[in-house]
Structure 1
Amino acid sequence: MYFKGHQKSSFIDYPDKISTVLFTGGCNFKCPYCHNSDLVYNKGEKIEAEYIFSFLEKRKKFIDAVCISGGEATLNKGLYDFVKELKDKGFLVKLDTNGTNPRLLKSFIKDKLLDYIAMDIKAPFNKYNKVTGVMVEINKIKESISLIRESDIDYEFRTTVCKELITEDDIINIAEELKGSKRYIIQNFRDGDTILAGKGRLTPYKKEELKDIERKIKDNFIEFKVRS
Structure 2
Amino acid sequence: MILAGLQKNSFIDFPGKISCVLFVTGCNFICPYCHNADLARGEYPARFELTAIIDFLKSRRGMLEGVAITGGEPTLDRGIVDLCRAVKALGYPVKLDTNGSRPGVLRQLISEHLVDFIAMDIKAPLHDYSPFSRNPTIHEQMTASIRTIMESAPAYEFRTTCAAPFINGTTVEAIAKSIEGAACYVLQPFNRRAACLDPEFNQKQDPGLSADEMQRLKPRAAPFVKRCVIR
Tell me, yes or no, whether TM beats 0.5.
yes
| Structure 2 unaligned blocks of 5 or more | none
Residue 215 of structure 1, aligned match among 210, 215, 219: 219
User: What is the SS of the residue equivalent to 2:215?
Assistant: helix
Q: For residues 27 and 163 of structure 1, what CA distance do their matches in structure 2 show?
A: 22
Q: For residues 56 and 88 of structure 1, what CA distance do their matches in structure 2 show?
A: 11
- Contact 2:117–2:153, Cα closer than 8 Å, also in 1: no
User: What is the SS of the residue equivalent to 1:166?
Assistant: coil
Match for residue 45 of structure 1?
46
Give the letter for the 1:101 counterpart. R
Shift, 1:216, TM fit = 2.6
Match for residue 97 of structure 1?
98
Q: For residues 194 and 48 of structure 1, what CA distance do their matches in structure 2 show?
A: 27
Shift, 1:125, TM fit = 1.1
Bigger CA drift: 192-201 or 8-17?
192-201
Q: For residues 77 and 25 of structure 1, what CA distance do their matches in structure 2 show?
A: 12
- Contact 2:14–2:66, Cα closer than 8 Å, also in 1: yes
Q: For residues 73 and 205 of structure 1, what CA distance do their matches in structure 2 show?
A: 28
User: What is the SS of the residue equivalent to 2:115?
Assistant: coil
- Contact 1:35–1:195, Cα closer than 8 Å, also in 2: yes
Q: For residues 66 and 27 of structure 1, what CA distance do their matches in structure 2 show?
A: 20
Shift, 1:219, TM fit = 2.7
Q: For residues 55 and 151 of structure 1, what CA distance do their matches in structure 2 show?
A: 30
Q: For residues 136 and 45 of structure 1, what CA distance do their matches in structure 2 show?
A: 33
Q: TM-score, normalised by structure 2?
A: 0.93
Give the letter for the 2:228 counterpart. F
- Contact 1:38–1:194, Cα closer than 8 Å, also in 2: no
For 1:108-127, what aligned pairs fall within 5 Å after superposition?
Answer: 108-127=109-128
For 1:76-225, what aligned pairs fall within 5 Å after superposition?
Answer: 76-130=77-131, 132-137=132-137, 138-198=139-199, 199-201=202-204, 202-225=206-229
RMSD: 1.3
| Structure 1 outlier segments of 4+, above 3 Å | none
Match for residue 9 of structure 1?
9
Give the letter for the 1:226 counterpart. I
- Contact 2:100–2:121, Cα closer than 8 Å, also in 1: yes
Q: For residues 109 and 91 of structure 1, what CA distance do their matches in structure 2 show?
A: 15
Q: For residues 194 and 68 of structure 2, what CA distance do their matches in structure 1 show?
A: 24
Q: For residues 196 and 152 of structure 1, what CA distance do their matches in structure 2 show?
A: 30
For these two proteins, the number of residue pairs brought into alignment is: 226
Q: TM-score, normalised by structure 1?
A: 0.95
Deviation per residue, 1:68-116 (Å, 9 max, x gap): 0000001110110110111111110000001111111111111111100
- Contact 2:184–2:228, Cα closer than 8 Å, also in 1: yes
